[in-house]
Amino acid sequence: MNISARQAVRRLPAFSLVEIVVVLFVISLGLVGILSLIIQNIQSQSYNKNNLTAYQLAQEGVEMIRQVRDSNWKAGAAFTLGLATTTGVTYQNYMDYRDALPHDASANPSVLSVLKQDSEGLYIHGGLGTTSPFSRLINTKKLDTHSLQVDAIISWQDHNRNYSYDLETILYDWY
């Protein structure tokens, strides 16, 4: 190769090593940003799934107490029978679809309220099943002679953070 050919090669436009490093740095920053968005999206999906499940478990808790109230009315008993007896006192209960009446959870509410999933995927207290991240506590309080406050509290842990969903309603006597 003669000297004029070497000079022609050196004069061709090209990227320097510094320019290539800067471009790679900018691209890697963009990829890190995209990766963090993907991780945040996955965490949000997990929270939304658990929050929806918690809402449904809370609604189920309220409906089970409502069923007890309705059964009491149909039997001609006091509408708070098995739910609350003294006005102004809060009763801590746990209950699942297999129970006719709620169970007292005041002795140890954190252990008694833990829900398991049975072989059919239904949430139960005790018995055989896979322990779920959810626990349910149903508080009942007789407000006066014709009303009962029901508060279903669902708690769970996700990504080392504690969450809680609280659903409250007031049930009335059919008198």
> Token pair 């409906």 is at which residue?
63
Q: Do residues 156 and 133 lie in contact, with contact meaning Cβ atoms separated by under 8 Å?
A: yes
Of residues 106 and 117, more confidence is placed in: 117
Q: What is the mean pLDDT of the chain?
A: 87
Distance CA 124, CA 122 (A): 6
Q: Tell me the C-alpha distance between 29 and 112, whole Å.
A: 49
CA distances from 44 to 135, 158, 173 (A): 21, 11, 41
Q: What is the pLDDT of residue 123?
A: 93
- In this structure, what DSSP letter does residue 77 have? S
> Is residue 11 scored above 70 in pLDDT?
no
Query: Which pLDDT score, from 0 to 100, does residue 86 have?
Result: 80
Degrees (nearest 5) of the Cα angle 63, 128, 132?
60
More confident residue, 149 or 3: 149
CA distance 85 to 20: 77
% of the chain at pLDDT higher than 90: 47
Give the torsion through C-alpha atoms of 97, 102, 103, 104, to 10 deg: 150
Number of residues assigned to the chain: 175
Other C-beta atoms lying within 10 Å of the C-beta of residue 166: 13
Q: What is the pLDDT of residues 58-113, one digit of tens each?
A: 999 999 999 999 999 899 998 888 888 787 888 889 898 888 889 888 877 666 67
Tokens for 111? 């252990």
